[in-house]
Structure formats: structure tokens, C-alpha cells
Chains A and B, each alone.
Chain A
Amino acid sequence: MLRLEDFPGQPADAALARQWLEAAAAQDYPDAFTDLGWQFESGGFGAPDLTEAVRLYREGRRLGASQSVLNLAHLTRKGEGVPEDAKLALALYREAAALGNVEAANDLGSMYKGGIGTAEDRVTAYYLYERAYDRGYARAGVLLAWMRFEDEDAFWHAPPYALATCLWALDLADGDERSALQEDCDAMEGQLSPEEVAEARTIYGGL
């Protein structure tokens, strides 16, 4: 998603950004609706306007922009700008995931893990995270690591291997995302004994 501060060396200019995005949207460029919607949602163009954001995301969805569908799913789950509706949110996460949005596939896993809009299903969550991680989505690797760390009743429970998973996932990330995920891995490491950490480092380095 476009963030106005994403262009180093260029002074941020919300009005100019909006002008270009609207020109792209006028030509039915799908992601322009996502980016415009995000500016209205996050307040990039002044006070946040969720109604307008939802309208733009729906337009993006109509044109097949998976990120519009995903943003709409988030708003529907939280009940922001639209009535809260877990089942509809679930359907939207599925739709965005089917369009190939790997973040949506990861979030669909979280819906199953939390039992939101459907019955809790940690097995489906586990494999959705694993698949999203295989497709290069670092955060899914960390969520997968937490399941391997915490789920004592599941066959995948293996704390040292969980930490190794977290470290591999970290290798996929960079920038702000990496520092956020680093905190997860550090927290996990803090709960392991020195022997387990050593074992995790061996697994991490050995593959």
C-alpha cells in the first residue's frame, strides 16, 4: 500500500499524490482505488473518512484488486466504516486469498486460529501459515513459530524448532517489519532454557 512518506528525498505532497491517484482511478487502474482508500482510511488526506474508504475499496474489489478486498475484510472484521460481521469478513479474506494475496491467506489462518466467523481450527490455521510462509510471507513464519512453541497439545509442538523457524522467518524480512518480528523471536528465546536455545541455533544453522 502506498504511504506518502515512502519516497525518500521527495517532499510528501498529499494533494499531488491524490491528483495522480485519482487520474489512475479514472482509468480504472485497480490498485489506485486501494491506495486512495488507504489514504482516506489512515487520514493521509486530512481527517480519516471511513465511508469514503469503504466506497473506494468496494470499487477496487469490483476491479479485482486483492488488497482492496483485504482492507475491506479488516474493516468488516473490526466493524469500522461498515457493520461488524465476522462471517462476511471471513468470506472476504477467502476472496482476497483466492486472488493470490498472500497476506490475506495468512490472515485467513488467523481467523481459523481465533475461531472468528467460523469454528476454531488450529490445523487449518497451521497449514495456511506454513503455505503463506513458503510463499515468502515472513510474518506467517513467525506465527507458525508461535504455534510450534505454544501448542502443547498438538503434534507440531517443538520449542527449539519453533525458535529456529522464527529465525528463518526473520531472514525473509527487512526494515521495520524485521525489527517487529525480531521482538517476537527475542520474546520466544527468553522463554527457552540455554540448552534449548543452543539446540535451536544448531537447527537454524544446520539447514
Chain B
Amino acid sequence: MRRIVMALVTAAGLTAALGAVAPAQDAPADPVEAARQKYLGGAYAEGFREIFPYARQGNAVAQNVVANAYFYGNGVVQDCKLALKWTQAAADQGLDRAMHNLGAYRDLGCFGAGLDAAAAERWYRKAIDAGFLPSHARLARLIASGRTGTPDPAAIRAVLDPAIAAGDADAVLALAELQFRGEGVPRDRAAAAASLRALALHANKAAVLLALARFHLEGIDDTGPDLPAAEALLRKLVEVRHAEAGPDLARLMIEGGGWWQDRVQGWATCTWARRNAAPDTKPPIDAACEALRPLVPTDELIRAALVAARMK
């Protein structure tokens, strides 16, 4: 099939937490900025080497890049403790995205370690006060999860509405997902689907498409689930290498219910997703895949391992 694969934005978290990538033509005079652009451009080891001395000297932007490198293991050996140390150093200096990252570290953990909901809320709120938009959606989800106490719908809307008004797609997505599940806010599937569809039409973002696919798996209106539609969306997401969609597609293929039933390919898809997961998404992907393991006979698990080994 000859066609351009329209790339979906999958690395939203990375760019949001590090700031924007500058256009390539005007090389920044600031050495910290130059090193940061190298790092963001994928030259991790080189960028890290150049920026590390500035982090040692106390430059907050440099410290935040060093923290990111340790968190994801980009250009260095992955190390949660060092990631936390450098994030904390940058956040203590008041860098908005470092405060957000520290909140995220306490909220989502580093490979499941370091969770502290109260600290997460505190740092998200500091980032919000500093005007950092992506923290709104994260904080709303944290409150809705009930990990900071009984969720209050008004408090959740108070966090989300300013970001939605400012045009933040993550906040629209968060409200739609919470409304769909009735988590922390009143359940309203029609409103959730309508705002998500409008968002998905304009924003080519993998997280939005994955939410829509999950809506189809559950059933958006009284017509019930739409597995063929979910399959089409999830297949697209795996095609553009969005690892978080892996367990959803794997479950569909393993449980069956249509022509796509294939337990070997399903488990291979899960294995691929775990291998390609970023540290902050790995624990939920692992858990979702492990829940599927009992549904796959042992000989098919082995065959799936061989298939997965050939998947990039």
C-alpha cells in the first residue's frame, strides 16, 4: 500500500515537559539553549555532555534537561533517583515545567516508584500558579482518581475550565474521559463523545484517538460497543507506534469477537508495547498485558515471543 503515514503526535509529554523545539535555522547563541536543542533533536549523549556542567553550576533549564535524560535513560543509564534529584533542583528554583515534572514524578511514579499524591497535587498547583497549562489536566485526573481524598466535581471543574478556555487539548481530553466514566464528575457520555469528536477532528493526537477507540470499545450511545470501529482506530495507533494502544488492541485480538481474532499476534502486540513503553507509561501497560496472559495458552505465548522479536 503506497501512502504517507500521517504521523500522529505521540511525544506530547516530552515536548510539554521540556519546552518547545526552536526552528533549526537560527542556532541559539546561549550555550545552554544550544545544548538543549541538540538533546531535543535526538542527539541525547552529546546534548547531555554539553549541558551537564551548566546543571552543576545551578542553571535550572539545564537541570531539567539532565533530569529528563535520567528519567527516560536518554544518553545516560536510566536512574530514577538522579532524575528526582535534578527535577527537584530545577523545581526549587521555580522553573514551571520542572515543577510540573516533579508533580508528574510523584503522581505517576518512575517505573512505579516514588508515588506521593499529596506532593503531586502541591507541585501541580505551583506549576499552574506559574502559568504552566499542561498541569491542569494532570491535576484534574489526580483529584478525580480519589488519591487525594474524596473527589469534588466543582474542584475538578475549577482546575479544568481555565485550561479548556485557554484551548488546551489535554484538558478537553481529560474532561471527556472523566465524564465518560463518571469519574469525579457526573457521567455524561453524549457530552463526552461530542467534545472528544470535535477535538479529534482538529488535533491529530494519539492520546485523543486512543480515547475515542476506548469509547467505541465500551459503547458510546445506546447502540452499544462498536468493535470494528475500535479495531480500525487501534490498528492505526499501533501502526504509528503508540505503545499505549498496544494492550487495547491485544485484548481485542485475544478476546476475539471478530475477524481480527488472533491470540498469537495479540500477545505479540502486547510484548511489542511493553518493549516500546516510556518509563511513565510502562507500569499501566505491563499491568494491562499481564491481565491478558491467562487468556493465552502457553504454546501460543511462545510463538508470540518469536513473532514479537521480529516487530520493530
- Is B258 among interface residues, defined by CB-CB distance under 8 A? yes
Residues of chain A contacted by B294 (CB below 8 angstroms): none
Residues of B within 8 A of A (CB): 1-4, 6, 190, 193-194, 197, 200-204, 209, 212, 216, 220-224, 226-229, 231-233, 235-236, 257-259
Give the interface SS of chain A, mostly helix, strand, loop or mixed: helix
Interface positions of A from 59 to 108, Cβ below 8 Å from B: 87, 90-91, 94, 97-100, 104-105, 108
Residues of chain B contacted by A87 (CB below 8 angstroms): 222-223
Pair A119/B221 contact, Cβ less than 8 Å:
yes
Between A and B, 9 residue pairs with Cβ closer than 8 Å are A91-B223, A94-B229, A105-B228, A118-B221, A119-B194, A124-B226, A124-B229, A124-B232, A131-B232
8 closest Cβ pairs, A-B complex: A100-B259, A98-B258, A97-B228, A131-B232, A123-B200, A155-B204, A207-B2, A127-B232
Nearest Cβ distance between residue B260 and chain A, in whole angstroms?
Answer: 8
Pair A124/B236 contact, Cβ less than 8 Å:
no
- Is A154 among interface residues, defined by CB-CB distance under 8 A? yes
- Is A156 among interface residues, defined by CB-CB distance under 8 A? yes
Give the contacting residue for B236; candidates A100, A120, A130, A165; CB below 8 A: A130
Give the contacting residue for B197; candidates A98, A121, A127, A168; CB below 8 A: A121
Pair A98/B2 contact, Cβ less than 8 Å:
no
Pair A99/B259 contact, Cβ less than 8 Å:
yes
Bound complex: CA of A207 vs CA of B3, how far in Å? 7
Residues of chain B contacted by A124 (CB below 8 angstroms): 197, 212, 216, 226, 229, 232-233
Bound complex: CA of A97 vs CA of B233, how far in Å? 14
Bound complex: CA of A194 vs CA of B197, how far in Å? 34
Bound complex: CA of A128 vs CA of B222, how far in Å? 21
Residues of chain B contacted by A108 (CB below 8 angstroms): 226, 228-229
* Beta-carbon nearest neighbor of A158 in chain B: B6
Pair A117/B227 contact, Cβ less than 8 Å:
no
Pair B197/A90 contact, Cβ less than 8 Å:
no
Give the contacting residue for A118; candidates B4, B202, B220, B236; CB below 8 A: B220
Residues of chain A contacted by B221 (CB below 8 angstroms): 118-119
Pair A127/B228 contact, Cβ less than 8 Å:
no
Question: Interface extent on A, as a size class?
Answer: 35 or more
Given contacts A124-B216, A156-B6, contact A100 B258 (CB under 8 A): yes
* Beta-carbon nearest neighbor of A88 in chain B: B223
Residues of chain B contacted by A40 (CB below 8 angstroms): none
Pair B4/A161 contact, Cβ less than 8 Å:
yes
Pair A127/B233 contact, Cβ less than 8 Å:
yes
Pair A130/B232 contact, Cβ less than 8 Å:
yes
- Is A201 among interface residues, defined by CB-CB distance under 8 A? no
Bound complex: CA of A99 vs CA of B259, how far in Å? 5
- Is A174 among interface residues, defined by CB-CB distance under 8 A? no
Pair B257/A98 contact, Cβ less than 8 Å:
yes
Bound complex: CA of A151 vs CA of B197, how far in Å? 14
* Beta-carbon nearest neighbor of A148 in chain B: B6
Known: A100-B258, A155-B204. 14 other contacts (CB 8 A): A87-B223, A91-B223, A94-B226, A94-B227, A94-B229, A98-B228, A98-B259, A100-B259, A108-B226, A123-B197, A127-B233, A130-B232, A131-B235, A207-B3
Pair A90/B223 contact, Cβ less than 8 Å:
yes
- Is A150 among interface residues, defined by CB-CB distance under 8 A? no
Pair B201/A119 contact, Cβ less than 8 Å:
no
| Max chain A Cβ within 10 angstroms of own Cβ: one of B193, B212, B226, B231 | B226
Residues of chain B contacted by A207 (CB below 8 angstroms): 2-4
Residues of chain B contacted by A120 (CB below 8 angstroms): 197
* Beta-carbon nearest neighbor of A136 in chain B: B1
Given contacts A118-B221, A123-B209, A153-B201, contact A105 B232 (CB under 8 A): yes
